[in-house]
């Protein structure tokens, strides 16, 4: 069995830490057992394909299956990093490519869900508001990733990932998809949650970074010799 402390990341969110990682480690063990030469890139691409498949289920009006599949893609999203760290093949390019695939998956999944909500709810009057909601949710998801990356270029600052992280967002979509089987409004609420929480957290991160920069400037001013 792979040692968890050697494969987890400090940036893991709540769902990744307590649910996804426990499953992905077992999948990683199995993959390395049946195919020791498997590359992290192969897992990255496979994860992206699974995420797209999850989106397709929404387009074909199968939200329950779609939600489960995108949650599974969130689980195996950790396998490429685990394999890279176990085989000592971690690379900046690999992380960069993984992030690009994740952003494409996030956007396409939310587009598929909005399409499902619009077409299969048959609310023509909500066409513009529905796609506007999708655009806000997609933009928020992108900005969560962007602010995390951009902040490290300014300060050695790592934002916490709790209820706004990708793992949590996918888990919320899965829960919304499951409950949508009984109450169709649940999936709509899940998208509203993503649209709101991502932008709230982006504002919090802006404030947090500004505060850290001000503190750093104050310390710098204090250490400057008096004229």
Q: Which tokens is 119 given?
A: 């077409």
pLDDT of residue 2: 47
As a whole number of angstroms, the distance between CA 77 and CA 25 comes to: 11
**Verdict on whether the full-model pTM lies above 0.85:** yes
Residue with tokens 């933009």: 139
Domains of the chain, first to last: 4-223 (1.20.120.1760)
Q: How far is CA 151 from CA 126, 127, 143, 147, 159, in A?
A: 37, 36, 12, 6, 9
9 neighbors 158 (Cβ within 8 angstroms):
no
Kindly give the parts of the chain with pLDDT less than 50: 1-6
Find, among 157, 159, 169, 211, the residue nearest to 67 by Cα: 169
Within 8 A by CB and 6+ apart from 16, the residues are 74, 78, 165, 167
Q: pLDDT value at position 205?
A: 94
pLDDT score recorded for residue 131: 87
pLDDT, one tens digit per residue, over 2-43 is 444 445 666 678 899 899 999 999 999 999 999 999 999 999
The pLDDT of residue 89: 84
Q: What is the pLDDT of residue 151?
A: 86
């Amino acid at each position: 069995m792979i040692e968890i402390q050697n494969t987890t990341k400090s940036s893991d969110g709540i769902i990744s830490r307590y649910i996804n990682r426990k499953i992905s480690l077992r999948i990683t063990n199995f993959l390395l057992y049946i195919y020791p030469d498997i590359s992290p890139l192969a897992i990255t691409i496979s994860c992206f394909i699974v995420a797209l498949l999850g989106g397709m289920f929404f387009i074909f009006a199968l939200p329950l299956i779609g939600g489960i599949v995108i949650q599974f893609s969130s689980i195996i999203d950790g396998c490429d990093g685990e394999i890279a760290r176990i085989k000592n093949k971690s690379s900046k390019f690999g992380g960069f490519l993984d992030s690009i695939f994740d952003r494409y998956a996030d956007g396409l999944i939310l587009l598929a869900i909005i399409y499902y909500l619009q077409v299969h709810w048959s609310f023509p009057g909500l066409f513009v508001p529905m796609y506007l909601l999708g655009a806000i949710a997609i933009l928020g998801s992108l900005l969560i990733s962007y602010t995390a990356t951009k902040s490290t270029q300014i300060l050695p600052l790592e934002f916490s990932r709790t209820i706004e992280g990708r793992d949590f967002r996918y888990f919320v979509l899965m829960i919304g998809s499951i409950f949508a089987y009984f109450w169709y409004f649940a999936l709509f609420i899940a998208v509203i949650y993503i649209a709101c929480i991502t932008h709230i957290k982006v504002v919090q991160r802006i404030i947090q970074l500004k505060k850290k920069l001000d503190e750093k400037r104050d310390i710098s001013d204090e250490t400057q010799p008096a004229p």
